[in-house]
Structure 1
Amino acid sequence: MTGEAREADGDDGPLDGLTVLDASRVLAGPFCTMQLGDLGAEVIKVERPHTGDQTRSWQPPSYGDSDESAYYMSINRNKRSIALNLAAEEGREVFRTLAREADVLVENFRVGKMDDWNLGYADLHEGNPNLVYCSISGYGEWGPDSHRPAYDIIMQAEGGLMSITGEEGRTPVRVGVAIADIGAGMYATQGILAALLERELGSTEGQKIDISLFDGQVAWMTYMASNYFATGDPPTRMGSKHPTIVPYQAFETADGYVVVAVGSENLWANFCAALDREDLTDDTRFATNEDRVANREALDSLLADELVEYATDELLALFDEYDVPASDVHDMADVFETPQVQARDMHREIEHPTAGTVAMPGSPMHFSGTPTTIRHYPPRLGEHTTELLAEAGYDDATIRALIDADAVAPFDD
């Protein structure tokens, strides 16, 4: 709709009427554009002919007998796919045509590549001043590392996360999902929504947004960074423990693990009562949280010996009775079988032409008036190429000429 006001239909999502041109691939960009699609935007996924988004081939696992990887399926719903060759000038001209009618563009090519193709912000702003143009890269568009390639594990290492993740004295570990990419995708979504709001309420023009995985990791250090600034001592790996709350960690039980979060003095009293160890509340070493932090090793040892005598379910029942926040450690099967996940509609399914029923997490954004929706399965490569070209005003003869010039690739069902 490019800057025009509209009235929202409660069934269409808050971004209904907006068009997103998605020239991103792998994770950070597609995660961002999936969120925009869930919110109701029309997302056009631009992919390299014949190979498409790299994650299509990141398998196993894949769904059924299809060629679509589970990885690709997880972040590409609510999009239409056009197979467009940006290495060809004819393909780039199609891209410019699509960009002139778009509200948002998201890309995560290496820094400078879009400018080399004359598809950078300055180029496309001239044809569409209302365009919100979001670039996602490893280190951002300036600074001494701007040219470097980026992978999630490197971002977790350089951004500080791996220095505080893992067990003390053991090898650093990364968080189990690509959190640097996902975090950048979330920041990109926030930035885009803010730029759209500013466009509607302020300048009526779009603007350029520069998002980097590295910046996101540094920002996510939050209180760990503040602890360092306050003391001059870099935080270290503590496993599941918390630097300023005790006990707040996982403990081994007779048959597994239990995780507790004793975040206040009232909870400490409840925790001790649940274990029938009210004597601990009178122990001057553990009287306050500050005392417990100072005497962490002694308390950890005492509690480890105590809790390993209990079965996990037994402990959870006791902690529930005494209102102590606690859980066992859920695997993926456990997560998606929990009643809370079902109640919140966080386990969704959609039918796919070749993969059958595809399960996926739902959207965590819940609106009272304009709910998020899952309207379309993750598209097959180039599935909507001719459809999108026709919508953009190309006639059959021109589409055939673009195919013959290898500027676009027709869908091969």
Structure 2
Amino acid sequence: MPNSNDLAPHGPLSGITVIDLSRILAGPYCTLMLKELGARVIKVESPGIGDDAREYGPFVNGKSAYFQSVNRGKESIVLNLKDEDDKNIFRKLLQKADVLVENFRPGTMEKLGFGWETIKKDYPNVIYASASGFGHSGPDMYRPAYDMVVQGMGGIMSVTGHPGTPPTRIGMSIGDIGSGLYATIGVQAALFHRQLTGEATKVDIGMLDCQLALLENAVMRYQVSGTAPGPLGARHPSITPFEAYKTKDGYIIISAGNDGLFAKLAEALENPGWAENPDYSSNDNRNKHVEKLKIEMESVLTAHTTSHWIEVLDKFGVPSGPINNIGQAATHPQTIARNMIVSVDDPITGPMKVAGNPIKISGFEDPETRDPAPNLDQNREEILRELSD
């Protein structure tokens, strides 16, 4: 089924059709990324309100901006997969599809008659991707989950925040977004495998699995020491100096990730002797004296503003930056230059700014405008007409 959206980016996945049964965020984020890479995405929504995210604010002229942000450029058709006539329409969609994405609890698709074994047998060309809370195996596979559930279970909240403070959620839905990204990677690997072998496969993504995978060195540190890491505020657990430091008017991030950069930092802060101090002569020693070094650094940094020090550190090639709020990040010249804020022209909401696509691929345009998210069942007639051809 060719992509019919006029403003759809023509990416490397042009010509790929994705049937999207998912809702809220994990699955829809996966299909958003597939859409951004050129695939056609058809949302199959349940009767009534459709995707639950349509009911999540903020709202602009009655339309969910939350839904808009992760469903732009997709198409919508309402099907009741417990109704035989609608099941037949869904079967016709599968005959023309390349990928099926769902994020139901395990067993739901089997009850509807569209589990992996059925898909594999009846639609051997279709890659089946599932993003559920705990994946399709293990003792917790049938449990329901939302983003914050797996943030808590996966350990990421235990290393977030400052020592001695109450549990802190990551400031965005890392449980959903992480699993959506891993699902996107899995789908593309499965598409490549199908191209090589002709075999379509199942991609099984568990949100909890993804949280563990995203913990990077926290898992390693536990395995090596036998002690579970805790929160460290803004400080890196293995590299020093690598955190937020006070300045005259706020904070600055300084990341001196090796001995060479630390020597440049010491020179930039007019304390070249730090690089020769035995307490700071290696990263391991700096980690052992992290609080002492922070006090010395801040005694210098608080004499001038954040912008002053960024200018100084840039001259020495030391990585640094401010702590921006969302408005500052969204309007930063680098953000604008990279087309990371794009416009969605929706007849209901009017123009709306959303985050762009960070994957820049040579030979493919990255337009400044995107198609809006569909209204519920908006594309029904067009899709049915295509299926009848």
Would the TM-score normalized by the shorter structure come out above 0.5?
A: yes
Partner of 1:40: 38
Partner of 1:252: 246
> Is the Cα–Cα contact under 8 Å of residues 134 and 140 in structure 2 kept in the other structure?
yes
State the one-letter code of the partner of 1:300: K
Q: Could you give the per-residue CA deviations for residues 161-183 of structure 1, whole angstroms, max 9, x where no partner exists?
A: 11111112222312111011111
Structure 2 residue runs without a partner (length 5+): 3-8
Partner of 1:31: 29
> Is the Cα–Cα contact under 8 Å of residues 39 and 372 in structure 1 kept in the other structure?
no
CA-based RMSD: 1.7
Aligned counterpart for 1:229 among listed residues 223, 230, 234: 223
**Of the two structures, which has the highest relative contact order with CA contacts closer than 8 Å and spacing of 6 or more?**
1
State the one-letter code of the partner of 1:90: D
Aligned counterpart for 1:17 among listed residues 15, 26, 29: 15
**What is the distance in 1 between the residues matched to 2:319 and 2:43?**
43
Offset of 1:12 from its aligned partner?
2.6
State the one-letter code of the partner of 1:216: C
Q: Could you give the per-residue CA deviations for residues 217-263 of structure 1, whole angstroms, max 9, x where no partner exists?
A: 11112222112212222221111111111110001222111111011
> Is the Cα–Cα contact under 8 Å of residues 350 and 357 in structure 1 kept in the other structure?
yes
State the one-letter code of the partner of 2:225: T
SS in 2 for 1:310: coil
**What is the distance in 2 between the residues matched to 1:108 and 1:200?**
25
After superposition, residues 4-403 of structure 1 pair within 5 angstroms as: 12-59=10-57, 61-63=58-60, 65=61, 67-202=62-197, 204-371=198-365, 375-393=370-388
**What is the distance in 2 between the residues matched to 1:307 and 1:172?**
31
Partner of 2:5: none
Offset of 1:296 from its aligned partner?
1.4
**What is the distance in 2 between the residues matched to 1:104 and 1:33?**
10
Partner of 1:409: none
Offset of 1:283 from its aligned partner?
2.1
Offset of 1:375 from its aligned partner?
4.9
Q: Could you give the per-residue CA deviations for residues 298-324 of structure 1, whole angstroms, max 9, x where no partner exists?
A: 112222333233221122122122221
Q: Could you give the per-residue CA deviations for residues 26-81 of structure 1, whole angstroms, max 9, x where no partner exists?
A: 0010000011111111110111223011111111x223x2x221211111012111
**What is the distance in 2 between the residues matched to 1:273 and 1:126?**
67
State the one-letter code of the partner of 1:62: F
Structure 1 residue runs without a partner (length 5+): 3-10, 395-413
Offset of 1:372 from its aligned partner?
5.2
SS in 1 for 2:360: coil
User: What TM-score results when the alignment is normalised by the length of structure 1?
Assistant: 0.89
Offset of 1:376 from its aligned partner?
2.2
SS in 1 for 2:77: strand
**What is the distance in 2 between the residues matched to 1:380 and 1:104?**
22
State the one-letter code of the partner of 1:306: V
Q: Percent identity?
A: 39
**What is the distance in 1 between the residues matched to 2:49 and 2:327?**
32
**What is the distance in 2 between the residues matched to 1:371 and 1:45?**
24
